[in-house]
Structure 1
């Protein structure tokens, strides 16, 4: 009995050690993800902060308390965001992924240090692979000796070129996700706010929820009365979900008349105005691209702030630009998680794997770091891109910029028309009570004939 108990104790100690190692690895990976999300937040705030800083310097040019706010500070912030975005996308996030998946080399000593060795080796191999692919792609796109030799300078040419490719993918991702998110914002806002009684019958929903909960509770209390095999765990989960839904419906029913009759229409009106304004600005920018070459996005090496406003409407126009940038960023995130390709990445409460968290951080960083280029390409602001953000080669291509603006305006209009026609039709059917009418089912008589024939 003693050897068996000693063997059991040794196995338990080994499992505890492995669990401690996994906890340490997950903690390190989570800290890297936190840093990446902080960089993503900085990339989102970068352009709005620059626009607001320019308006503040215009309004208070000689104020002593804002002397710290100058062009060199803004330029340094753009460079730091660019540097940390490169660092997170190319090194930190791959390191976090390989670190969570590593187990150490075969035959080597196990532990966190062994995982670090394996992760570093995998990261070096991945860096060499990506470097070779970028070098070959550069040689194919621009068959020039100078362009190939420039990639040998790692910091000066390789990282900006690689980040240019990543930013281009991020801008394409924003082109797909933002129109979808603009259309989805109406339904998401409608779920969060209390609709007027004409559009929503809370009493009927409460009665249906109570009846379903009572039926499920009766099945759980009397399982022998039903001849079907019942999954008790599934029934308990359904009851908990119905109870949560009933509590939310009770809160919505207790909402004030102002919140019910004024909040929902105002929110829908604000979303409609912001979306229409975005499409209008993009349409005007398309015309500017055809007329004036200065409408093309370009980089700016010296941040000369406080000299001229970047909006024709002054400070009011700058505020509108900031609101539109934040609105499009939120819409792109909503559209990203609503798209069928990335819906599996959506985080779940207490049920999200570490690799899924890393994937979410990478996608959010790609979206947020492409936001300044996205906003300037669509003409939402005339604030020129600072630092390495303005060195992207594809920004000077007229056809890419023009087709991008036209595709955004067309996709957004198409998604809005499709969403509004379907939503208005559904709301009218629900308001007139046509959804409760008994509709004939075409497949039912055919099925009954088959059963009679059998």
Structure 2
């Protein structure tokens, strides 16, 4: 035993650092591969299976769209990672507090979470400023006039146009930074692209993202209240609605079979409505549109079938519960924002610009402990859902909503860019509004406009005012009466069932 103890040596500090670094990189790689697989599945679900892009007979065209699809997959994976940053960090902090000496979670530490934030920030910059613009230019390129057509010619044109675009964007960034801060604008700073202009450009993108969220999140509140409130008030005969949906589904299936059989312009059977726009479509477009509508009605019929097979109590309680949940979450968000505004005014809470290094597992982020941390995660997810719904409710954006197997590649690029912008701004939104006390790590916490008191306070007051107006306008007397009547009805049904 003594001989064994004499031969045993304590592991070297550099060796421990090396092994920890290797372990973290393996975790990052596995997480990134998982996100890429999920992103590829989403894109494959939405992408149009048409001959004009990915399934072209031209081999060069296939390679171009395949490379562009990989770039979009990478960008969408980064968007999902940015959305998960705060929930993963909050859960990690609470787990380390509950199990500080557990052998199985020693790999979960501050260095791992810090590295995750740094990678997401780096890949967000790479996706916004390099991959997505390059993918768009690559798919639109044809090669310069006079050169031999092919993949190399398209790559040469894309690279040239991309470099020119980069020079233009850098010039705009220099002008904007000179207007905002004249002390930092000089000839020497033009060459300082990596440490100054790239973070400055990303701060501008993040500011645009939080402005989009300021508009889209209350719109998402409105949309959710409209849908749930309409279902709560409108009397529904599920059997009748199911029969109508099944009839429409059978009608579309019949039209699709005839269109596939005829392989020409489709005229029979006559449309159910006189103003049927499908009669103006050619056979290929007609089959595509009929297939999309048929898929939507099949999904609706299955949901109605599931709903009518559920019990009366669950069916009648679902919409009141959903309405109460929406009201409760919205009121909690508004109260937290008002509390954050008051704390900023009297100096209790600091601005969201991070100035200190956060150590994971030292103390809980909430006074309520794990319950408060869970509530923060629920509110963050609620903001994600409402902002996404509100984004695709905006008049111009609702035209590019992804659809099953029918989304053009240009729409996929636009959706990836929009999702990347708002997902990268989501951690900033949660911190600005005071939804969470978790510090913004890495370069996310060094964005300069987060230290501007007027911007942060005005943003909080605007968000609170918009959300309050939504609750006041949508929770009307009619909705309140119907909600109360439904609750009384279910309460009486429950009492009679128990007795």
Q: TM-score, normalised by structure 2?
A: 0.73
Q: More deviation in 305-314 or 173-182?
A: 305-314
TM alignment of 1:152-163, pairs within 5 A: 152-163=191-202
SS of residue paired to 1:271: helix
Separation in structure 1 between the aligned mates of residue 193 and residue 66 of structure 2, nearest angstrom = 31
Which of 237, 255, 258 pairs up with 1:201?
237
In structure 2, what is the equivalent of residue 450 of structure 1? none
TM alignment of 1:317-328, pairs within 5 A: 317-328=372-383
Which of 460, 465, 469 pairs up with 1:414?
469
Q: 1:416 to 1:156 in 2, by over 3 A?
A: same
What does the per-residue CA deviation read over 1:6-29, in whole Å, with 9 as the maximum and x for residues that have no partner? xxxxxxxxxx98632222211111
Which of 385, 405, 415 pairs up with 1:350?
405
Which of 48, 58, 62 pairs up with 1:19?
58
In structure 2, what is the equivalent of residue 113 of structure 1? 152
Q: Check conservation: 2:213, 2:422, Cα contact below 8 A.
A: yes
Q: 1:68 to 1:300 in 2, by over 3 A?
A: farther
Q: Runs of 5+ in structure 2 lacking a partner?
A: 1-54, 256-266, 487-499
Q: Does 1:52 align with 2:91?
A: yes
Return the offset for 1:299.
1.3
Return the offset for 1:362.
0.5
Which of 403, 409, 431 pairs up with 1:376?
431
Q: Check conservation: 2:340, 2:349, Cα contact below 8 A.
A: no
Q: Does 1:177 align with 2:216?
A: yes
Q: Check conservation: 2:232, 2:482, Cα contact below 8 A.
A: no
In structure 2, what is the equivalent of residue 277 of structure 1? 332
Q: Check conservation: 1:167, 1:370, Cα contact below 8 A.
A: yes
Q: More deviation in 232-241 or 160-169?
A: 232-241
Return the offset for 1:146.
6.1
Q: Check conservation: 1:25, 1:100, Cα contact below 8 A.
A: yes
In structure 1, what is the equivalent of residue 50 of structure 2? none
Report the aligned-residue RMSD: 3.5
Q: More deviation in 419-428 or 100-109?
A: 419-428
Q: More deviation in 106-115 or 249-258?
A: 249-258
Q: 1:137 to 1:426 in 2, by over 3 A?
A: farther
Q: Does 1:395 align with 2:434?
A: no
Q: Check conservation: 2:78, 2:123, Cα contact below 8 A.
A: yes
Separation in structure 1 between the aligned mates of residue 359 and residue 296 of structure 2, nearest angstrom = 58
What does the per-residue CA deviation read over 1:83-137, in whole Å, with 9 as the maximum and x for residues that have no partner? 0000000000000000110011111121122111111111111111101100111
Separation in structure 1 between the aligned mates of residue 365 and residue 113 of structure 2, nearest angstrom = 15
Q: Check conservation: 1:71, 1:302, Cα contact below 8 A.
A: no
Q: TM-score, normalised by structure 1?
A: 0.80
Which of 323, 329, 343 pairs up with 1:268?
323
Separation in structure 2 between the aligned mates of residue 229 and residue 339 of structure 1, nearest angstrom = 26
Q: Does 1:167 align with 2:231?
A: no
Separation in structure 2 between the aligned mates of residue 23 and residue 99 of structure 1, nearest angstrom = 12
Separation in structure 2 between the aligned mates of residue 63 and residue 228 of structure 1, nearest angstrom = 67
What does the per-residue CA deviation read over 1:46-88, in whole Å, with 9 as the maximum and x for residues that have no partner? 1111111111122222222222111111111111110000000
Q: Check conservation: 2:203, 2:447, Cα contact below 8 A.
A: yes
TM alignment of 1:16-415, pairs within 5 A: 19-145=58-184, 149-188=188-227, 199-206=235-242, 237=290, 244=298, 249-292=304-347, 294-415=349-470
Separation in structure 1 between the aligned mates of residue 122 and residue 420 of structure 2, nearest angstrom = 13
What does the per-residue CA deviation read over 1:274-311, in whole Å, with 9 as the maximum and x for residues that have no partner? 11111111111111111125332121452311112221
What does the per-residue CA deviation read over 1:201-227, in whole Å, with 9 as the maximum and x for residues that have no partner? 224435666888999999x8786xx99
| Length, aligned pairs only | 409
Return the offset for 1:230.
10
Q: Check conservation: 1:48, 1:322, Cα contact below 8 A.
A: yes
Separation in structure 2 between the aligned mates of residue 288 and residue 302 of structure 1, nearest angstrom = 22
Separation in structure 1 between the aligned mates of residue 167 and residue 78 of structure 2, nearest angstrom = 25
Separation in structure 2 between the aligned mates of residue 228 and residue 142 of structure 1, nearest angstrom = 58
Q: More deviation in 21-30 or 321-330?
A: 21-30
Q: 1:240 to 1:379 in 2, by over 3 A?
A: closer
